[in-house]
Amino acid sequence: MKLTKVILKEEVANLGDMGAIVNVARGYARNYLLPKNLAVEANTRNLKMLEHEKRIIAEKLKKLKVSADTMAARLSSQRIMLTAKAGEEGKLFGSITTKDISDALAAAGFDIDKKKILLDTHIKRVGEHAVKVKIHPQVHAQVIVEVTAE
């Protein structure tokens, strides 16, 4: 497999943070990272520009972290109420998934991608559940999801 060096312009899951220089497969760079403007090729010109842009990227990361901290504080005070069909013992017919939680958060005014909601397993019982939400690589919030029977 032939590798190529790229400079990441944004955080890419399982690859690296903004500004990182990483080796990736040529096809991955050519077909995904470059067309989506997530990375640029790591040639001498772009490496020189990277030095200049590192200061800009650092400022952008700082602003993103501050906004993520404020969003985490707002999210941590949220209590999401969901209803589902359940049996007599509180066991749900089905489960509450990250999509359900994402939709409930969207209704409350938070635009959180379902991939950022971290559940060990789907919620399958009535009651309160603490759910972790990844807002930023260094910032997580905990949301209380209260499931009630229909």
CATH number at residue 39: 3.40.5.10
120-140 pLDDT tens trace: 888 899 999 999 999 888 889
Where would I find the H helices in the chain? 26-28, 44-76, 98-107
Domain edge (last residue) among 20, 40, 69: 69
15-39 pLDDT tens trace: 988 888 899 999 999 999 999 999 9
Task: Give the C-alpha separation, 75 to 69, whole Å.
Answer: 10
Domain edge (last residue) among 26, 45, 69: 69
CATH number at residue 84: 3.10.430.100
Domain count, the chain: 2
Which residue range(s) make up the domain with 130?
A: 73-149
Same domain, 52 and 82: no
Q: Which residue has the higher pLDDT, 58 or 147?
A: 147
Q: Count the neighbouring beta carbons within 10 Å of the beta carbon of residue 102.
A: 19
